[in-house]
Structure 1
């Protein structure tokens, strides 16, 4: 945990009636909490009902909240002065007034359900990163990793777990993921082959986006008020660029072809609506200068047609067309499911990232956005740390933009890489090869307790990774040593220990002296944090 976070206090637990399971019922049980059906087979789904119970317990008892500025300083190394400088730069270069930004914010504000929030958010983040590079945001390293970072929608795209945990965790479909471009490309079709998909170890950070189930937050009104407070009109006008004009011509042509091919009847209407709900997948290269392909134009046209139909429905359900124009949110579709607790689902994602990466991460980062309100989260073996305040993507746009830039410009250590005393192989150095799928071929140097000789340790295949987020998080690797310690096969064990606890090697030594059998022989031991100092 970063030193600046060590003095934080845990939140008081909520009412016990809100606890969804008996406290401590599963303590002492290694592994996860799978659901078993009447056939005695494991059932895994994308719901919070099968999220590990430790997640709900940790949210109650191991969650800390700290001020927004302190979180940014501790996690992103962003001082309040640097944040203020970024915000001033964003205001000076009028990012908020950018046509692409305005369109993304407008589409986000008019979304009718959770899934229609994803694409506008991705477009917003993409444009913010483009503006950060184009306007030369101060103190921004433009060599890595911001040019190679993608925020992508993984709607209906399951993240692959590791073989050791197959059947333990639920099948997870995160909303949005921060990935390296090479990993983002794995989500794209590979010709006739199915997409290879991504691993939990590939994820730099995850974004959980939730739509209010109760319509209490009126995002169109918030966006409208924000525009008027800035001297702008609602709805915003989007001045088309040359590429957008070319795209519009392509859309008109495609609409013409679609109109000619369509035949009247219920089946045509149904298929048209289904096509209209198709999603736009952001190209992994993010080359803003390249022209969209015909297939992309067709997908965009279908989405624009769907947006047009949605706007028509809003107008019909409103008291007047003027009310709709001023941003009344459409009612949720009867088929929409009630929104579940984003904190629980995000905790489940953090559990998978930490458990399915074979110990490559000290911590992981998350972002939870409910309607327009955003909070940042940090997860490690001691618990969760969240921002006390939330930011509105409309009212606090400049701060939100600074946060998104900060997410995309983290170093490997700020994304949770192991301390530098554990070195990657020379053929795959950081940051170019971060994040790795495992620590295989990584090396560290340990001191022999008897001879004081330096022993060079190389990690081989991973053997075990505990399925847990908060706690010891034990993981094992086979190793080879130079010079060799003995001929027998050796393993190395990593685990996060409670401060003040007796070292494990001392307990094993006492057990040996007491005549306890079947104990491991310990040759080397080190405190990772003392080695890092």
Structure 2
């Protein structure tokens, strides 16, 4: 189940909007420069929310209720008429209980059904208002004011790390003693902030990341300082670089700090109160967005506090890409700001004390259009590059956090510029960024954030103790934890199935390093009386048919059983998934992407098709093509063919082992004959996507996926095997190394060149005998594309002449007006002729061994 998972998801004509890459078939390495294009694209489509609303939601997770069994639903108070056992099939009009997945565990259910709508109400602010009142006395203490002033006197970025940590940890110590009966007690993990910028944290492929500041449990701090009895204060003040490094499961928040002004002259309020002193916009997330250096505090607005008991208006910050959307209560990206106020703090000419492995070379280029600073303040003219670098580093760190523990739901991040903190939420639907909190002017709000996270349990941090029981040990004991055995219960037809595994992140059969997307993990599991099994844990879109349903539908054709995966068990772990936080924030309706749910499916173990060599691989490939065709004719479509999705099943026999080609991974499939999909929702593996579908198109266009597109994907899979697979491992030849791109346009250009001149490419030695066949198949595909283009051009010319279409209207080849278009797919006769043409070309070089079960009339 090794799978290359670069997905076309978003504005295909301009950029890739997902950072998914599978290990072994993905990035050549995992340093920041290689990851930057894909991760920047993901951050560029982040959503935004109001700062007060995010604080209200975070507080709501800490309400004093029964502890959760899993992190599927936040810990929140139920209103009197809220369902205590709401199922994912029903529409929830109150906040759901933690038993929201009960219906998916029905032993009499033959397949899951968690696709019906679920509504989670936005969180109201009564608790937020109450907590604001409670922290006011702490804000006005002389020591708190002194620590803020100490921080403001530091002129360089690196000199601010320790004062910020000292300030934040002092605040944590103060709010710990507050009596808050509405909330849970302070967590026994005793969280603390820690300076980290000189000590790397080892992540994927043993690459080190260097977050400036981290939030960790006390046990982790004791462990890295080799001081198992060290108290909270000792560990909080101990920042030497001789210590050991943290591990990513230790990290609860990763923070990046930048600067804008060297002198922070804005005065503290004479007395802190609960009123907001103005909104600070979310950071624009794209390099071409204006206003990077002008995200400055606005003058305080009178009457800015919403009345108690109502939801904080979600319109205060709109969901969507921060590069284009404009919050309704804040002016456009170029801010009108008071003179002398601003972000950042560094004198021109001062060199930032940074390691070369962490800071971007972008710090050496470009300037912002800045407001004139006051005479006493020096301004950093590279704030824009600094912000972009901070967001890139933060997103990569978040991907490490989401990856580090099996089933982790979400991760937190912070960007700190001068006295402003932006809080980030990362999950598999994408990043959410809050408005900024100025801890100089809006200190009470910063303290409310701290008192809330101080009461978080492991589920609130996104961890799943049932899937990863090592996490409680790591966060409670100063000893180094080891992987723990797991017994996990899933559903199966007519009952339950208990599988056993000990998860080791370095021994996965397949994983994807990404910020958002399906994020598939495949790892071995075992169950008594079952064959060798694997588990697939992933985040499919909630709006798509369930993979188990599609497979069960396909397996009704008993002739195809050997050529399809066998789902032995499943469990919808978190049916509401990423929709929950967006509903609570009030931004779901504007989200640019569909919500995702967390699912685990247990399969019989299959083997990569690249296990085979020579003609045996071609035979298995042909079996997959025939299986795919037979299912397509029954209305069951795969829609994401890739090398990783073509597997083999090994069957022992008296004479010799038998191998069957298997079309695997149906999580993006469809069995409802929905041929048309919105361009922005089109999810494909770029490397194997039909050139037709990679053509530029408008984001809102409706696109049809035809059988010819799928057949073309099979061809690109075979060509890629010959040019990039050596001894079962991915090792692209020099000519095709750049095919592994996240740019649809580049992929179209490079592979089109191959079709025109395949004789310029040389395969790996082990495929030399099959290469003449591959060149003939490439010629057949090139002829088909040329004939199709010519036929479309002639048809358009006739339509223009007949005045049926506007001669100036430009449409992609695959754009359609609606689902009822009569020309959505090729006709059955055309599909059979296409397959006949390909098989005829292949059979000139190899005598196909067709199993009787895959025989097709006239083929």
Q: Show the counterpart of 1:54.
A: 38
Q: Does 1:81 align with 2:81?
A: no
Cα gap change, 1:428 to 1:228, in 2 (>3 Å): closer
1:63-82 equivalences under 5 Å are 63-77=46-60, 80-82=125-127
Partner of residue 24 from structure 1, selected from 10, 16, 30: 16
Change (3 A) 1:453 1:109: same
2:350 to 334, 339, 358: 334
Is 1:461 the counterpart of 2:508? The answer is no
- Aligned equivalents of 1:80, 1:531: Cα separation in 2: 23
Seen in structure 2, the aligned counterparts of structure 1 residues 479 and 43 have a Cα distance that, compared at 3 Å, is closer
- 1:154 partnered with 2:196: yes
From 345, 348, 351, the equivalent of 2:399 is: 351
> Across the two proteins, how many residue pairs are aligned to each other?
387
2:473, 2:492 → 1: CA distance? 27
Query: Structure 1 pair 35/522, CA: closer, same or farther in 2 (3 Å)?
Result: closer
1:413 aligned counterpart, secondary structure: coil
Displacement of 1:124 after TM fit? 0.9
Distance 2:540 2:141 in 1: 50
Matched with 2:142 is 98
For 1:125 and 1:343, locate their aligned partners in 2 and report how far apart those are by CA, in whole Å. Answer: 21
Paired with 1:378 and 1:141, the residues of 2 have a C-alpha distance of 22
CA–CA distance in structure 2, aligned partners of residues 466 and 230 of structure 1: 47
Corresponding residue for 2:443? Answer: 397
SS in 1 for 2:456: coil
Task: Check if 1:444 corresponds to 2:488.
Answer: yes
Distance, in Å, in 1 between the alignment partners of 2:14 and 2:482 is: 35
Measure how far apart 1:52 and its partner are: 4.2
Distance in 1 between residues matched to 2:50 and 2:258, nearest whole Å: 22
For structure 2, the residue ranges without an aligned partner over 5 or more in a row are 1-9, 62-123, 229-240, 274-343, 353-362, 364-381, 578-596, 598-859
1:473 CA drift (Å) = 1.0
The equivalent position to 1:382 in structure 2, one of 429, 435, 455, is: 429
Q: Distance in 2 between matches of 1:428 and 1:472?
A: 26
- The 1:175–1:132 alpha-carbon spacing in structure 2 relative to 1, beyond 3 Å, is same
Distance 2:18 2:426 in 1: 21
Going by fraction, where is helix more abundant, 1 or 2? 1
1:523 equivalenced with 2:568 (yes/no): yes
- Please, which runs of 5 or more residues in structure 1 have no aligned partner? 1-12, 37-41, 232-327
Q: Classify 1:98/1:458 alpha carbon distance in 2 versus 1 (closer, same or farther; 3 Å).
A: farther
Cα distance in 2 between the residues matched to 1:157 and 1:353: 17
Equivalent in 451, 457, 479 of residue 411 of structure 1 = 457
Q: Secondary structure at the match of 2:257?
A: strand
In the alignment, the residues of structure 2 paired with residue 186 and residue 423 of structure 1 have an alpha-carbon distance, to the nearest angstrom, of: 20
Question: CA contact under 8 A between 2:56 and 2:127: conserved in structure 1?
Answer: no
Displacement of 1:24 in angstroms is: 2.9
Structure-2 separation of matches of 1:405 and 1:158: 28
Shift of 1:110: 1.4
Aligned residues of 2:219 and 2:475 also touching (Cα < 8 A): no
Residue pairs, 1:302-313, within 5 angstroms: none
Alignment partner, residue 176 of structure 1: 213
Instruction: Tell me how large the CA RMSD over aligned residues is.
Output: 4.0
Offset at residue 397 of structure 1 (A): 0.6
Q: Cα–Cα, structure 1 residues 211 and 76, in superposed 2: closer, same or farther, change >3 Å?
A: same
* Cα distance, 1:117 vs structure 2: 1.4
Q: 1:116 to 1:27 in 2, by over 3 A?
A: closer
Please list the CA deviations of residues 346-391 of structure 1 after superposition, one character each: whole Å capped at 9, or x if unmatched.
111101111233x24111111222211112111111111121x211
**Cα gap change, 1:514 to 1:208, in 2 (>3 Å):** farther
**3-state secondary structure, aligned to 1:525:** strand
Residues 416 and 437 of structure 1: CA distance in aligned 2, closer, same or farther (over 3 Å): farther
| Aligned with residue 502 of structure 1, among 545, 553, 556 | 545
Matched, 1:117 2:163: no
Q: Secondary structure at the match of 2:570?
A: coil
Paired residues of 2:410 and 2:461 also in contact (CA < 8 A) = yes
Counterpart mapping for 1:196-207 below 5 A = 196-207=244-255
Deviation, 1:523, is 1.2
Cα shift readout 1:253-306 (whole Å, capped 9, x = no counterpart): xxxxxxxxxxxxxxxxxxxxxxxxxxxxxxxxxxxxxxxxxxxxxxxxxxxxxx
Deviations 1:434-486 (A, max 9, x none): 9x97974233322221xx232222332334232112011111232233xx232
When normalised by structure 1's length, the TM-score is 0.63
Distance 2:392 2:547 in 1: 33
- Superposition deviation, residue 51 in structure 1: 3.5
**Equivalent residues of 1:31, 1:468 under 8 A apart:** no
Instruction: Identify the residue that residue 277 of structure 1 maps to in structure 2.
Output: none
2:256 aligned residue (199, 208, 216): 208
Aligned residue for 1:412, secondary structure, equals coil
Matched, 1:367 2:414: yes
Change (3 A) 1:517 1:198: farther
Q: Using the alignment, how far apart are the partners of 1:210 and 1:33 within structure 2?
A: 35
Paired with 2:397 and 2:19, the residues of 1 have a C-alpha distance of 21
- Structure 1 pair 332–186 and aligned structure 2 pair: CA distance change class (3 A): farther
Partners of 1:485 and 1:402 in 2: CA distance: 53
CA offset at residue 175 of structure 1?
A: 1.1
Q: Contact (CA 8 Å) 2:219, 2:476: kept in 1 or not? A: no
Alignment of 1:111-150 (within 5 A): 111-137=154-180, 139-145=182-188, 148-150=190-192
TM-score after normalising by structure 2: 0.40
Contact 1:363 1:379 in 2 (8 A): yes
Aligned-pair CA distance for 1:157: 0.7
Secondary structure in 1 matching 2:208: coil
Q: Which residue of 2 aligns with 1:166?
A: 205
Q: What is the CA distance between 1:69 and its match in structure 2?
A: 2.9
Which string of whole-angstrom CA distances, capped at 9 and with x for unpartnered residues, describes residues 377-417 of structure 1?
11111111121x21111000111111122222212221112
* Contact 1:365–1:379 (CA under 8 A) maintained in structure 2: yes
**Separation in structure 2 between the aligned mates of residue 132 and residue 227 of structure 1, nearest angstrom:** 20
